[in-house]
Amino acid sequence: MREYFTAYLMIAPATILIFTFGIFPVGFALYVSMHKWRIKQGDFKGLLNYARAIDNLIYVLLFALAIGALASVYLLLRRIVKRVQEGEGGAWQLVFPGALFAGTAIAFLRWTVLLLPEVLDIGNKIWGIEKTRELFNQLLGDAFRTPQAYAGWWLFAGMALASIVVAALWGRFFRAGQNLEQLSDFTIAWLVLALGLGLAWFTYHEVVSAYQAAFEEGSDPGIWPQIITIGSGVILLVAGWKVWQSAARQDSNWAFAGRLLGALGLLVGAWLLIGELPIVMASGDKDLWKGLKVTIFYSLGTVPFQLSFSLALAILLFQKFWGSDFFRIMFFLPYVTPTVASAAVFRQLFSNRYQAPLNQLLLALNLEPQQWIREPQGIFTMLGETLGFAVPDWAAGPSMALVVIMIYSIWTYVGYDTVIYLAGLGNISTELIEAAEIDGAGKWEVFRHIIFPLLSPTTYFLSLIAIIGTFKAFGHIWVMRQQEAIGTVDTFSVMVFTEFFEKLRYGYASALAFVLFAIILSLMYINNKVQGSKVFYG
Amino acid sequence: MYKKLSIIMLVVMVFTMVLTACKTPAPEPVVEVEEVEEVEPEPEIAGVPVSELDGIEIKFWHVWGEEKEEAFLAVVEEFNNTNEYGITVIAENQGGYSDLEDNFNAAIQSGDVPTVLVGYNNALASWYGVDALADLNPYFSDPVGGFTDEEKADFYQSALDGGVIADGSRVGLPLSQSVNVLFYNHTWAQELGFENAPQTAAELKEQACAAAEFNNNDDDPDNDGTGGLVMYAGASNVMSWIFAYGDDGLTDDGTAYDFVSDAFVAVATIWKEMWDAGCAFPTESYPNPEFASRGTLATMSSSAGVYYQEKAFEDEGATDDEWTLIPFVGPDGQKAVDAYGQYLAVVNTTPAKKVAGWEFLKYFTSPAAQAQWIKASGYFSVRKSTIDLLADYQEANPKWATARELVQYGHAEPNHSSWSSVRRTLGDAFYEILQGGIPDIVPILEALNATAAELMAEVEE
Amino acid sequence: MDNVQISQLALWGRVQRWLQKGFTYFTLLFGLFIAITPFIWMILTSFMSLGEAQGIRWIPSSLHFENYAIAWQRAEFSNFFLNSVKIAAITLTGQLTVSVLAAYAFARIKFPGRDLIFGIMLSTMMIPAMVLIIPNFLTVTWIGRIGPIPWINNWPALTIPFMGSVFSVFLLRQFFAQVPDELFDAARMDGAGHLRFLWKVVMPLAKAPLMVIVVFSFIGSWNALAWPLLVTNNDDWRPIAVGLYTFIDEAGQELNLMMAGAFITIIPILIIYFFTQKQFTESIARSGLKG
């Protein structure tokens, strides 16, 4: 027990700081995202900011999330049941304490949500008057004692007290430590259950009020049909895929039927989605989808190049020779240089002046000077023009301006990736390579069949970091962004920034940030599933 | 062990709860009791007795660095030493205009606001919209602390009007102005066979095309494609042309944006034609070196950029060329420049502070302080009488004097609180036009209209 | 196989090795060229006159050292420099203390809720930062109002929010988890508690990751711009990035001065990097692999 106490004491400073400056603001941003908030707090808008961004998709997603939460409660309970069956008796007695703890946490959350508007209002009360500490303390006390917040506080306090009493009793009657895992499982299960139910209720409520608003306008929002079609589309896709996969393991008769069924599910699901999603996308915020497209271009244009260049460099540098340390330091230099400085330099190198270095190079080669970061035309379109064939609009590719930014990004991160690849190479046993060489494998074969597979954990890690990085990329794009490029370099995060700081739509920008957060999380999940299964841990 | 921990936690919990619960209920908010017994009536400014101003400290948020900051601080110091009320101004530098805006937006949330600040009028309008700024009208006309009729008449009316929004509230007092003009290389134009500066838009196009052609046909292959007008489609440049074409971007009654008018289509078309013919070209946003080395016949620039342009001429070594500042010209010879002003505003705080802030504003716009400010900033005064104090400066800076004469052609950009967002979209639309084809012009402008209407509805609802 | 053939083979092998070496050097030199050209351009430009900087030149005709003097004075770097050093030092001390303690607990002590707390912390790394600025500003003003010292315009607002760094905790935890249990058991035998074990055994072993935190935390506080501008209203505590930023704003049309100013601000980072680069690259690599 002393051990626990020490541990909590040790993590306390970090936890408090990270909670205050990392988690509380997220909750706050969530609160903002549900309001009209232009400079000052406006009306509560529920999910309308989200609906404006991704249209009815938000309702679909939230229902899916609620169902996911309930499903994970089921899984958790199944795990507990399994453990009980394995002979860890007495677990069910923990249902009650678990509920109590979860309730306390929820009561605390509720209290903060009730208190927050009161505290925010203090900003208006002290607007421009003389500020003393007594005044603040008094106002804070007042905010605390508003009936709602006060009641919320007592509910939380009561539950906390009960939790402590129960914990103390429980500690006395059961042997402490042993059932800790079960207790936290139950607590989490209750929490997630409450979360799932709350979410489902809230979403339902929002859909109903959206219908009401639409009814008054005399239009039909068509949310329920969309939820049903998109939901069943996804379910069919997943189910079809599962059936197809499991059919592969069955014997012939069943396999055929299973495959047919699976393929049918896949087809119908895909058909439903293809029919519905473009409609949803078209009625959401077009800038969002544009930003997403730019971000995807940016990812595709940086991550593979960055990784292959750095892998090549790492393999060359791995052979110890005179000066290899020097090269390693130099390649790493761009990574430690402040973004503002190096991006400013790139802006000058890729200036559209004919005197600028890159254009001078082109002129020396007898080529036309280019607009570089001011060129909104697609790179493939431009290539096509030079080579003399027309490229259709959908294949225009990223704008040249974006390509310059990709070049900058590759330039910055190759050094970092190289260092990590070098470490990865250091972990490969030389015996394996030597053995292969004795067997007569050529250099390419050794690389292809031994080095590359053994490096897959490194590649996995690097691609993960790089993809998240491209979705969060902001500073250098902001510095290199020119109005002439008419938005062709505005990635999703740039878009969030302009909504927030230029258009001052705090509420909407916060909603967009959560959409971005959801995208990053699901990308990580997919990356984990797809690439993670192929990683070879040697 | 575990029991011990629980007991400790229990004690702590109970302790906190008891403490918070026992806290005495808040006393009534301290209301400042008005002194009833006044011996003799004291002068008041907008209802605030002058004696209350004594010892007040007010914060001024500004955005100026280097020379401008020095000049500004000198003005502040003088005010602090000489004002009759005992007000002290504390200057706080916030970085650039956009930083000041970010900081003030954050301060609005927290309540820690300054008393006076500087900004562009559309930003001020949007803050007034959330009650963050005071209406200056009561102070402006106050018999004790306001302006006399002569003083009011000494202001340029157009500058004053820029600080008044649609409902008549005065959200800002003009501090100084600058205008968007054309820098024009007179010597080169004469060599190209043009005796006079362009009088119509068609002439401007003709001269630019001639210059572009000259650079295409000279010995240096590198400078092909330069020579014409530097095309930077920022909103100030677009609006300068629009003013010359007799429009202002608003519907007739001024309540909504209108970007599909004949003027907009005509300007977009002539830009596009010049662009396609190579008579206009894009470069960095400061085309000073191009202009100094005959890389362009004319550039669109703020009059405040004269200093840097002169420096560029020194550094390029092509000082023989005579260059001058000319207005934008319309299809039939109308002249226009886009005038924008720096405005001062008083934040909506306590009555005494607001009065104190106003008194500083009044001081800063007095002819003497204006003269100091103009010398350091290169802007133009908003008071007619300031010019008497600037004879030396005028002589030493002939270009400034030329530019000042163009102020008479000045037009102000729309003064709607949504304008700062709309003007960015306007620039984007014109870049899109330059990239697209002639038939795309009207659809792009229509889309711009829709976006602008949406922004306006959102901000001004 | 006769002798001629063998010697021919040996010769061929040698040629092949040379070719290979030549290829390696060529590729690396080419990479080097791309990696450092921007730096070289920046330094060369910073020594030019304005006309040269905007022209075609690569090599300045004469070295204008005065650009540095002008930039230094006009941007008032000396004050900002000192502020940045102070801010970096406070942040660094705080961050190291906080993260070492937390990382040790996460790595070596098993306590209820450990994985949950750690997981929540990690997930905060994925949130786009711009929406956090306003709430954090409010928090900072509020703590300053009710706490013993003001936070706005003072060092706490500039340093304390950065002391709880998820990245540092994560990096150190990865490293601490690799310290063999035997060492701990041995230390236990000698009667050492967690803190002593951490101080006497773990810390000396963890020089490399600590160095990474030193460098990253230094770079972070050295380059911070938007946040310091928001929480300061005067020059008392403003860091160097703000100085550079306002200077670029004013001198934006004078490329040579801008580059001189930019170079001045990155020199300290380059120095720190060159002195710590060995441990730095080493432990970046280690942290990377275990992610």
Interface of B with A in 108-127 (CB under 8 A): 108-113, 115, 126-127
Say if B62 falls within a structural domain. yes
**For residue B390, what are the contacts with CB-CB under 8 A and spacing of at least 6?**
B371, B374, B375, B381
DSSP β-bridge partners for residue C40: none
CB atoms C273 and A333 under 8 Å: yes
**B347 or C216, higher pLDDT:** B347
pLDDT, tens only, C3-53: 667 677 778 888 888 888 888 889 899 999 999 999 999 999 999 888 788
The mean pLDDT of A316-342, rounded to a whole number, is 83
Say if C97 falls within a structural domain. yes
Confidence check: pLDDT of A281 > 80 = no
Q: Are residues A275 and A299 in the same domain?
A: no
Q: What is the pLDDT of residue B2?
A: 43
The mean pLDDT of B24-45, rounded to a whole number, is 57
pLDDT category at A156 given cuts 50, 70, 90 is very high
The mean pLDDT of B226-239, rounded to a whole number, is 91
Interface of C with A in 148-187 (CB under 8 A): 160-161, 163-164, 166, 169
Instruction: Kindly list the distances between the CA atom of residue C187 and the CA atoms of C94, C172, C176, C205, C270, in Å, as whole numbers in the listed order.
Output: 27, 20, 15, 14, 39
Looking at A232, A250, A283, the residue that finishes a domain is: A283
What's at A152, amino acid-wise? G
pLDDT, tens only, A94-146: 788 888 989 999 999 999 989 988 888 888 788 777 777 788 888 888 888 88
Kindly list the partner chains of chain B, i.e. chains with 3 or more CB atom pairs below 8 Å: A, C
CATH number (domain holding residue A329):
1.10.3720.10
Q: What is the pLDDT of residue B354?
A: 93
Q: Are residues C162 and C29 in the same domain?
A: no
Q: Are residues B249 and B355 in the same domain?
A: no
Q: By the CB < 8 Å criterion, does B302 face chain C?
A: no
Q: What is the pLDDT of residue B13?
A: 47
Q: What is the pLDDT of residue B29?
A: 47
Confidence check: pLDDT of A57 > 80 = yes
pLDDT, tens only, B195-211: 999 999 999 999 999 99
Alpha helices in A145-179 (DSSP H): 147-173
pLDDT, tens only, C226-270: 788 888 888 889 888 888 777 776 666 678 888 898 888 888 888
A50: nearest Cα among A284, A214, A322, A226:
A284
Interface of A with C in 148-187 (CB under 8 A): 180, 183-184
Burial class (CB in 10 A: 0-12, 13-18, 19+), B168: exposed
Q: Are residues A343 and A458 in the same domain?
A: yes
Confidence check: pLDDT of B38 > 70 = no
Looking at B388, B411, B434, the residue that finishes a domain is: B411
Q: Are residues C10 and C101 in the same domain?
A: no
Q: Which residue has the tokens 């100085």?
A: C243
Confidence check: pLDDT of B259 > 90 = yes
Say if B429 falls within a structural domain. yes
Confidence check: pLDDT of A240 > 60 = yes
B404: nearest Cα among B420, B383, B421, B422:
B383
C16/C18 Cα distance (integer angstroms)? 5
User: Structurally, how many domains does chain C consist of?
Assistant: 2
Q: What is the pLDDT of residue A178?
A: 55
Confidence check: pLDDT of B20 > 50 = no
Say if A185 falls within a structural domain. no
CATH number (domain holding residue C127):
1.10.3720.10
The mean pLDDT of B285-303, rounded to a whole number, is 87
CB atoms C98 and A340 under 8 Å: no
Q: Are residues A320 and A444 in the same domain?
A: yes
% of chain B beyond a pLDDT of 90: 54
Interface of A with C in 374-413 (CB under 8 A): 411
Alpha helices in B378-418 (DSSP H): 391-396, 398-406
Q: Locate B192 and state its tokens.
A: 């190209």
Q: What is the pLDDT of residue A538?
A: 39
CB atoms C136 and A7 under 8 Å: no
User: Which of A182, A309, A310, A333 is the best mutation test for C, with the most CBs of C within 10 A?
Assistant: A333
User: Structurally, how many domains does chain B consist of?
Assistant: 2
Domain that holds residue B363: 55-178+340-411
Q: Are residues B136 and B282 in the same domain?
A: no
Looking at A248, A283, A318, the residue that finishes a domain is: A283
Q: Are residues B306 and B195 in the same domain?
A: yes
Q: What is the pLDDT of residue A445?
A: 84
Q: What is the pLDDT of residue C221?
A: 84
% of chain A beyond a pLDDT of 90: 27
Q: Are residues A279 and A349 in the same domain?
A: no
The answer to whether the CB of B42 falls within 8 A of the CB of B85 is no
Q: Are residues C41 and C138 in the same domain?
A: no
pLDDT category at A462 given cuts 50, 70, 90 is confident
Domain that holds residue C7: 3-46
DSSP B133: B
Say if B113 falls within a structural domain. yes
Q: By the CB < 8 Å criterion, does C106 face chain A?
A: yes
What are φ and ψ of residue A354, in 5° steps?
-70, -15
Q: Are residues B61 and B158 in the same domain?
A: yes
Say if B18 falls within a structural domain. no
Residue of chain B nearest C153, judged by CA positions: B92
Say if A322 falls within a structural domain. yes
Say if C60 falls within a structural domain. no
Kindly list the partner chains of chain C, i.e. chains with 3 or more CB atom pairs below 8 Å: A, B
A64: nearest Cα among A228, A183, A179:
A228
User: Structurally, how many domains does chain A consist of?
Assistant: 2
pLDDT, tens only, B404-452: 989 889 888 888 888 888 988 999 999 999 988 888 899 999 999 999 9
DSSP β-bridge partners for residue B60: B91, B116
A99/A92 Cα distance (integer angstroms)? 12
Contacts of A422 in chain C (CB under 8 A): 285
The mean pLDDT of A290-299, rounded to a whole number, is 94
Q: Are residues C98 and C219 in the same domain?
A: yes
Instruction: Kindly list the distances between the CA atom of residue B400 and the CA atoms of A517, B403, C167, in Å, as whole numbers in the listed order.
Output: 52, 5, 54
Q: What is the mean pLDDT of chain A?
A: 85
Q: Are residues C11 and C119 in the same domain?
A: no
Q: What is the pLDDT of residue B292?
A: 87
Say if A155 falls within a structural domain. no
Q: Are residues B105 and B136 in the same domain?
A: yes
Q: What is the pLDDT of residue A179?
A: 63
Q: Are residues C129 and C178 in the same domain?
A: yes
Domain that holds residue A513: 286-534
Say if C53 falls within a structural domain. no
C57/C77 Cα distance (integer angstroms)? 28
Q: What is the dihedral of CA B355, B361, B364, B367, to 10 degrees?
A: -100
% of chain B beyond a pLDDT of 70: 90
CB atoms C126 and A419 under 8 Å: no
CB atoms A26 and C127 under 8 Å: yes
Confidence check: pLDDT of B23 > 80 = no
Q: Are residues C135 and C222 in the same domain?
A: yes
Q: Are residues C42 and C149 in the same domain?
A: no
The answer to whether the CB of A403 falls within 8 A of the CB of A301 is yes
**For residue B331, what are the contacts with CB-CB under 8 A and spacing of at least 6?**
B200, B201, B202, B245, B266
Q: Are residues A412 and A515 in the same domain?
A: yes
Q: Are residues C20 and C149 in the same domain?
A: no
Q: Are residues C20 and C123 in the same domain?
A: no
Q: What is the mean pLDDT of chain B?
A: 87
Contacts of B66 in chain C (CB under 8 A): 74, 250
Q: What is the pLDDT of residue B460?
A: 66
**B172 or B416, higher pLDDT:** B172
B90: nearest Cα among B116, B119, B112:
B116
**B320 or B81, higher pLDDT:** B81
DSSP A418: H
The mean pLDDT of A336-352, rounded to a whole number, is 85
How many beta-carbon contacts under 8 Å exist across A and B? 119
Instruction: Kindly list the distances between the CA atom of residue B112 and the CA atoms of A131, C155, C232, in Å, as whole numbers in the listed order.
Output: 9, 18, 12
Confidence check: pLDDT of B39 > 70 = no
Q: Long-range contacts of range A435-441, CB-CB < 8 Å, 24 or more positions apart? A: none
Q: Are residues A436 and A528 in the same domain?
A: yes
The answer to whether the CB of A511 falls within 8 A of the CB of A33 is yes
Q: By the CB < 8 Å criterion, does B398 face chain C?
A: no
CATH number (domain holding residue B172):
3.40.190.10
Q: Can you point out the beta strands (E) in B16-106?
A: 44-45, 48-49, 57-62, 88-93
Q: What is the pLDDT of residue C33?
A: 92
The mean pLDDT of A291-311, rounded to a whole number, is 94
Q: Is B379 helix (H, G, I), strand (E, B) or coil?
A: coil
Please give the full DSSP string across B300-311, using - where no structure is assigned: EEEGGGHHHHHH
pLDDT, tens only, A499-508: 888 888 889 9
A111/A151 Cα distance (integer angstroms)? 8
The mean pLDDT of A150-171, rounded to a whole number, is 88
Say if B93 falls within a structural domain. yes
Confidence check: pLDDT of C289 > 70 = no
Interface of C with A in 210-239 (CB under 8 A): 215, 219, 222-223, 225
Q: Are residues A330 and A371 in the same domain?
A: yes
Q: Are residues A350 and A252 in the same domain?
A: no
Say if A160 falls within a structural domain. no
B94/A222 Cα distance (integer angstroms)? 49
Say if A58 falls within a structural domain. no
Q: Are residues A417 and A273 in the same domain?
A: no
- Pick from C51, C137, C249: CB nearest B110: C137
Q: Are residues C92 and C35 in the same domain?
A: no
The answer to whether the CB of B60 falls within 8 A of the CB of B87 is no
Contacts of B112 in chain C (CB under 8 A): 141, 152
**For residue C229, what are the contacts with CB-CB under 8 A and spacing of at least 6?**
B94, B95, B99, B102, B103, C238, C242, C245
**B381 or C177, higher pLDDT:** B381
pLDDT category at B27 given cuts 50, 70, 90 is very low
Confidence check: pLDDT of B247 > 60 = yes
Q: Are residues B79 and B158 in the same domain?
A: yes
The mean pLDDT of B239-263, rounded to a whole number, is 93
> Which range is most confident: A77-86, A140-149, A270-279, B280-289?
A140-149
The mean pLDDT of A159-188, rounded to a whole number, is 75
Q: Are residues A368 and A314 in the same domain?
A: yes
Phi-psi region of C4 (alpha: psi -120 to 50; beta: other; left: phi over 0): alpha
B50/B85 Cα distance (integer angstroms)? 7
Interface of A with C in 342-361 (CB under 8 A): 342, 344-346, 348-349, 353, 355, 357, 360
Q: Are residues C169 and C26 in the same domain?
A: no
The mean pLDDT of B83-98, rounded to a whole number, is 91
Q: What is the pLDDT of residue C179?
A: 82
Q: What is the pLDDT of residue A106?
A: 92
- Pick from C21, C104, C161: CB nearest A21: C161
Q: Are residues B234 and B357 in the same domain?
A: no
